[in-house]
Chains A and B, each alone.
Chain A
Amino acid sequence: MANVMGVIYTGEPNPALRELTALRAVAALPVAGRYRLIDFIMSCMVNAGVKNVGVITQKNYHSLMDHLGSGKEWDLHGKNDGLQILPPFLSHENTGLYSGMLEALSSNTGYLRRSKQEYVILSNSHYLCNVDLAGMIDLHVSRDADLTMLYAHQAQMSHSARREDYAYLNIDENERLTGIEINPTVPSYPNELLEVYLLRRELLRYLVDQAVANGQRHFRRNVIQRLVNEGGLKIYGHEFKGHYWRVDSVQTYFQMNMSLLDARARQAVFTPDRPILTKVRDDMAAYYGPDARVVNSLVADGCRIDGAVENSVLFRGVVVERGASLRNCIIMQDAQIESGASLDYCILDKQAVVRADGRLAGHSSYPIVIAKDVII
């Protein structure tokens, strides 16, 4: 049994995700037709035998509370440990809105102190992947490492657009970490940090307390980068070789969902031996009417389709009426597209409605986002 606990930081509001995170944490973003982003890292932790998972939330955590419930979908509802939702504890120092992971951790040192596990896996929640964390834990222990960070090697770096808030690692032939670069104009190293850290619980507590005592604010710069630069500790990288997506803008959100239309990407993420678990809704199977024309799309249970759907992802309970047509769309839970409506490159948030004969067209570089409950 893994002697490891998990801590998931659910992110701060991201303007690049527009309306999608106006009222929800990044971790609560609906993805891939029936999941929320947090399901992936949470399932990875559970699949690695982790029995104690803390989820650090901040303002607007209602959708996460609702989604995670008692944790029983992940078998995290035991008497010992299980799921711990850690809402902000308001004080004169804490306004309920964390500036980042370090502040979030420092507000929850009590949880770290009370937990019993030797190690902690700490993760941000804007990466989507299905990673074998058990393998990472085994390597960490056998190497006697102090800190292991998950990264992905990129054979070809794209320098066309400046990518914000990325960190890159310099890894030697033994996977020892010798340098880290945060948010460079042109990255010097081809290894992208996936923001999953594995270390001793006591070490994390010490590092957080020390950083806060020194008035520091940035986890990666003031804790991780400082440790790397100082040397002294055994810091390793652990390479993730599978498919992964970073969700930090409407465009990357859109591309991530669309790429799951590819069988290889789906097989990489949805492996039967490491299932991705989520809240169950008990919808009936999706119904295709006599006039349905659906091609190259992912469709969740509870949908009723009588129109045309192409290159799209439909979440649970979506209704597409006869004569409606969707292309390149992401339609979230219980949204409705009435007859004769036509949508191209649109993201409809939950319960949004497009009335009969409505027309909306975005562009692949800028999909239109229709906020939750909006009627057009």
Chain B
Amino acid sequence: MLRNKDCVAMLLAGGQGSRLGILTRNMAKPAVPFGGKYRIIDFPLSNCSNSGIDTVGVLTQYRPLELNSYIGAGQPWDLDLNNGGVFVLPPYMTAKRGEWYRGTANAIYQNIGFIAQYDPNLVLILSGDHIYKMDYARMIRAHRGNEADVTIAVLEVPWEETSRFGIMNTDSDDRVTEFEEKPKRARSNKASMGVYVFTWAKLRKYLELDEADPNSSNDFGKNIIPRMLGDGQRMFAYAFNGYWKDVGTIESLWEANMDLLGPSLPINLYDKNWRVYARNPGMPPHYVSASSKVANSLITEGSVVFGSVERSVLFAGVTVEAGAEARDAVVMPGAVIRAGAKVERAIIAEGAVIGAGCRVGEPTGLIAVVGPGVTLEPGQTVAAGEQCCAESMPAKGGA
């Protein structure tokens, strides 16, 4: 018999993130590296750990290998516990049937058994797609203060972007009166962040109702939330006003990395009272040589820099050889930029090798991407906006 938990978090990490192109061909989006030291999932997991939520189910489906081994036993986030901890929850077979997660609500529905083990009062639903620091404990206090059935975290977005989000219309007490999915003409700019606190009994009831509805697409935003609102359940918005960045596209992933290079950080990653934890590769400090030039950049342990690095984020174990240049670049773990190569406005994925004299990206235009493990032959060119993966490489040795 497991001891009760006040709140269990369920982190939806099954999405492919297809708009990230070749970066998510072999790994789920939450496993994509970010900000020199992290992977996207480190942010919600660290938020849980720092908010005192110590029981987290991570729902995986698409390409889970990278994510599973990264999460491991949860040690980096202090989630390796006897009572609670982090659990990877893939879809599974039962005696009667077995199926994939059909939608966000269905994924939670299939894991009602996991949540019920802890008999929690509340369930926190999270997604593994965003870069943000948030104290979920404060949101839970607001949920309790409002005697809410569900509380939805909202962020005020620029009015011109409201058509991309689920928008909450609220009354003066922050009670949600209306929910509009991607409205053409929004009446509010409070966008749902995909962070929900549910009272468990209510969530369970609506998951079961939703599952019984053959016309439902089993999605929180499309089905569960509108149905609860229609039934007059107490639904409140919780305003969040920190940094929150969706890194669902190549451009936004690149931008979010570049955000870390501004004179004032939009998200404080130095805060010793709110560390963002990550699995540590255990490498020595990085080395910057006598011939190199580094400015306005983030560089991580294990890297070796002989060339020039400007406005770039270098992850662990990156090599920049003499005469090589990285500018406005995101260079992921273990990548190598060989002598004389130039990388500009580009994302170089894990383990890629940019051969001597290559040109990747251009001073303007879309971001160029070199996929995980790709080796560019010396002198190759990758144009702005181009994504270069192993299959797209020109065949060696002529036609």
Contacts and interface: CB of A to CB of B under 8 A. Distances in A.
A282 B275 contact: yes
Nearest to B38: A284
Contacts of B283: 270
A285 B285 contact: no
Contacts of A242: none
A162 interface: no
B277 A294 contact: no
Interface stretch (B157-165, B176-184, B193-201, B295-303): B295-303
A290 B295 contact: yes
Contacts of B301: 34, 300-301
How many of chain A's residues touch chain B, expressed as a range? 35 or more
Interface string B248-266: 0000000000000101000
Interface of A: 32-35, 72, 260-261, 263, 266, 269-270, 275-278, 280, 282-292, 294-302, 304, 313-315
B298 A284 contact: yes
29 contacts: A34-B301, A261-B287, A266-B287, A275-B282, A278-B282, A280-B76, A280-B280, A282-B76, A282-B275, A282-B276, A282-B277, A283-B37, A283-B270, A284-B35, A284-B37, A284-B269, A284-B276, A285-B35, A285-B298, A287-B298, A288-B309, A289-B295, A290-B263, A294-B288, A294-B294, A295-B291, A299-B286, A300-B285, A301-B301
Find the residue from B277, B299, B304 having the highest chain A CB count within 10 A: B299
A73 to B, nearest CB: 8
Given A34-B284, A284-B35, 7 more contacts: A270-B283, A285-B299, A288-B294, A289-B295, A295-B290, A296-B289, A301-B285
A32 B301 CA distance: 12
Q: Is the interface of B mostly helix, strand, loop or mixed?
A: loop
A275 B313 CA distance: 24
Contact of A298 (B282, B287, B294): B287
Find the residue from A270, A275, A283 having the highest chain B CB count within 10 A: A283
B287 A286 contact: no
Contacts of B287: 261, 263, 266, 297-299
Given A270-B284, A285-B36, A295 B269 contact: no
Interface of B: 35-37, 75-76, 261, 263, 269-270, 275-278, 280, 282-292, 294-301, 304, 309, 313-315
B295 A266 contact: no
Given A266-B287, A290-B295, A284 B36 contact: yes
Nearest to A314: B285
Kindly list the 4 A-B residue pairs having the minimum CB-CB distance in the complex, ordered from nearest: A285-B36, A33-B285, A284-B269, A300-B285
Contacts of A301: 37, 285, 300-301
A295 B277 contact: no
A261 B282 CA distance: 18
B194 to A, nearest CB: 25
A290 B270 contact: no
Contact of B278 (A278, A282, A302): A282
B294 to A, nearest CB: 5
Find the residue from B284, B297, B313 having the highest chain A CB count within 10 A: B284
A34 B282 CA distance: 10
Contact of B300 (A32, A286, A290, A296): A286
B288 A72 contact: no
Nearest to A262: B287
A295 B292 contact: yes
Nearest to A334: B272
Contacts of B280: 280, 282
A67 to B, nearest CB: 15
Nearest to A298: B285
Contacts of B292: 294-295
A32 B292 CA distance: 21
Nearest to A305: B294
Contacts of A295: 288-292
Contacts of B35: 284-285
B285 A32 contact: yes
Nearest to A34: B285
Find the residue from B37, B283, B295 having the highest chain A CB count within 10 A: B295
Contacts of B289: 295-296
B39 to A, nearest CB: 13
B330 to A, nearest CB: 12
Contact of B297 (A32, A288, A296): A288
B128 to A, nearest CB: 19
A361 B283 CA distance: 31
Find the residue from A275, A278, A280, A291 having the highest chain B CB count within 10 A: A280
Contacts of A282: 76, 275-278, 280
Nearest to B292: A295
Contacts of B298: 284-288
B377 to A, nearest CB: 25
B288 A297 contact: yes
A238 B299 CA distance: 39
Nearest to B80: A72
Given A292-B294, A301-B301, A285 B75 contact: no
A314 B301 CA distance: 12
Given A282-B278, A284-B269, A276 B284 contact: yes
A298 B288 CA distance: 7
A334 to B, nearest CB: 9
Contacts of A276: 282, 284
Contacts of B261: 287
Contacts of A291: 295
Given A295-B292, A299-B299, A286 B286 contact: yes
Find the residue from B35, B270, B280, B285 having the highest chain A CB count within 10 A: B285
A278 B282 CA distance: 7
A40 to B, nearest CB: 12
A302 B282 contact: no
A263 B305 CA distance: 11
Nearest to B317: A272
A285 B314 contact: yes
Contacts of B269: 284
A298 B286 contact: yes
B288 A296 contact: yes
A290 B313 CA distance: 14
A290 B309 CA distance: 11
Contact of A33 (B270, B277, B284): B284
A263 B319 CA distance: 13
Nearest to B267: A284
